[in-house]
Amino acid sequence: MGEIVLIRRAELLDRAAALAVVASAFGREDEARLVERMWAAKAIEFEIVAAANEKIVGYCACSAVTIDPPVEFRVLGLAPLAVTPARQKQGVGSALVERMLEDVRRAGAGAVVLLGHPRYYPRFKFVPAATKNVRWDVRDAKEAFQMIEFAAVFDGRPRVVSYHPALGGL
């Protein structure tokens, strides 16, 4: 109780623990394998962990996405976000998302997209990407495909977002 959770950049030494957190959060290995593919492809541009007493309890990554037709800004895809089950609903996920948004915005990104629960992400000001005529290339993910803009990136013309090939269909 009252333990301080620190959000910091992920390091190579965090990798095994980060994979364990991702697998435990999702209750399966698929997303951990995804993270390994992202590492192998050097697809990750921003990567942070949440640490409690030096133990990794949360993980979040962002990779570049491509937009067709292109936009003038750098756009990132947030995936995955994971908090170890025993630490969920204590604000760790929110702290990771907020720090990630701050980092990518400061680095000059114009927008972030993600696939996630439509009731979780609006608290960070994500909106359905469809409101700006932006869709995911793999399938119609409806309200789950969300975005946040830090600048006027999307002008309403139809645009299609593709994640890095290492993420495949996620």
Ligand X SMILES: CC(C)(COP(=O)(O)OP(=O)(O)OC[C@H]1O[C@@H](n2cnc3c(N)ncnc32)[C@H](O)[C@@H]1OP(=O)(O)O)[C@@H](O)C(=O)NCCC(=O)NCCS
C-alpha span between 159 and 45 (Å, rounded): 22
C-beta of 159: minimal distance to ligand X in Å?
A: 22
CA gap 10, 99 in Å, rounded: 13
Tokens representing residue 19 in the block: 């994979």
| Distance in Å, CB of 74 to ligand X, minimum | 22
Distance CA 19, CA 31 (A): 9
- Kindly state whether residue 116 participates in binding ligand X, applying the rule CB under 6 A: yes
Site string for ligand X, 60-89 (x = CB under 6 A): ---------------------xxx----xx
Nearer to ligand X, 125 or 157 (CB): 125
Task: Please count the residues of this chain forming the interface with ligand X, following the rule CB under 6 A.
Answer: 16
> Taking CB under 6 A as the rule, does residue 26 contact ligand X?
yes
Tell whether residue 124 is a contact of ligand X (CB under 6 A): no
Q: Is 24 in the site for ligand X (CB under 6 A)?
A: no
The token pair at 25 is 């959060």
CA geometry: angle 156, 157, 158, nearest 5 deg: 110
The verdict on 94 binding ligand X (CB under 6 A) reads yes
Q: Interface with ligand X by CB under 6 A: which range of 12-20, 102-110, 115-123, 155-163?
A: 115-123
Query: What tokens appear for 57 in the block?
Result: 């309890």
Which residue from 11, 16, 33, 91 is in contact with ligand X, where contact means CB under 6 A?
91
Strands (E), the chain: 5-9, 44-52, 55-64, 66-68, 75-83, 111-115, 127-128, 134-136, 145-149, 159-162
Of the residues 51, 93, 103, 146, which one makes contact with ligand X according to CB under 6 A: 93
Contact residues for ligand X (CB under 6 A)?
25-26, 81-83, 88-94, 116-117, 119-120
